[in-house]
Amino acid sequence: MACLSTCIVAALCRAKEGELAARSVGDISEEVVTTHITQRESALHCRRRTRGVEETNRLIRSLTSLFDSVSGKDTLGVPLLDHERIQQIWKEQQKHLGCIQNPEDFQLYIKTGTLKKGNVELCCYRCARGSTSLETFHLHLNRFIPGTSVSYAHFQAYLLEGLMRWNDDWMEDAVKGAPSIHSYGSALSEAVDQLSQKGAREMLG
């Protein structure tokens, strides 16, 4: 998908080709240009849109069908997906397809200026997608688990710890505007609060 998103943007490809030519980077083929376009450049200069519920449904079903077939087995012949479980998961989750589509009649992108690259003037955009607290939470959720091999007990512990820290950060920001103590230890926070109250009492009296 990352390669596809860069290939469909001709202006950015021309700009990157001009940059590479100015730096005398050997043979400048379409593949070379594509590999040199960074994710940050793509996000800055390209506006994206979702494909709609029906098309998203078709693409996901096509993908799960592929991995739920003979093609979806590793080198030892072990299926990557459990047929019964993946069908049940898809049955439960497809109702959320409408939730991940761009809202209609709402401008997600704001033009913030232009930038010249490789003698090509590119528009710069700022996207509202990912700017709400809920979307930010979804972005960080997968970072709560430090690895891909973990027991159920450790997985739950990491998840609960991540949720606790997330809630603490947002509560601190909402109440005080900025974190005052960079610690998630409840005992330490309580001790600091007690010392603060003691200091305030001594100053008053």
Q: DSSP character for 102?
A: P
- Top-ranked range on mean pLDDT: pick from 14-18, 74-78, 111-115: 111-115
205 vs 107 pLDDT, higher one: 107
Instruction: Name residues whose C-beta falls within 8 Å of residue 45's C-beta, 6 or more positions apart in sequence.
Output: 9, 11, 12, 115, 122, 123, 124, 125
Query: Residue 122: what pLDDT?
Result: 87
Indicate the SS3 state at residue 204.
helix
Least confident of 52-56, 58-62, 124-128, 177-181: 177-181
Confidence of residue 8 (pLDDT cuts 50, 70, 90): very low
Question: Measured in whole angstroms, how far is the alpha carbon of residue 146 from the centre of its chain?
Answer: 16
Q: Which of 159, 168, 166 is nearest to 186 (CA)?
A: 168
Whether the model pTM is above 0.85: no
For residues 122-132, average pLDDT: 77
Query: Residue 131: what pLDDT?
Result: 59
Helical H segments across 81-185, by residue range: 83-93, 133-141, 152-176
- Top-ranked range on mean pLDDT: pick from 5-19, 48-62, 98-112: 48-62
User: In this structure, is the dihedral angle defined by the CA atoms of residues 19, 22, 23 and 27, taken in order, positive or negative?
Assistant: positive
Indicate the SS3 state at residue 118.
coil
Q: What is the pLDDT of residues 49-82, one digit of tens each?
A: 888 889 989 988 888 888 888 888 888 888 888 8
| Backbone dihedral angles phi then psi of residue 4, each to the nearest 5 degrees | -65, -40
User: Does the pLDDT value for residue 31 go beyond 50?
Assistant: yes
Confidence of residue 3 (pLDDT cuts 50, 70, 90): very low
What does the chain come to in residues? 205
Any idea of the CA torsion for 67, 70, 76, 81, to the nearest 10 degrees? 30
User: Does the pLDDT value for residue 176 go beyond 70?
Assistant: no
Cα R_g (the chain), whole angstroms: 25
Strand partners, 117: 120
User: Does the pLDDT value for residue 2 go beyond 60?
Assistant: no
Query: Residue 4: what pLDDT?
Result: 43
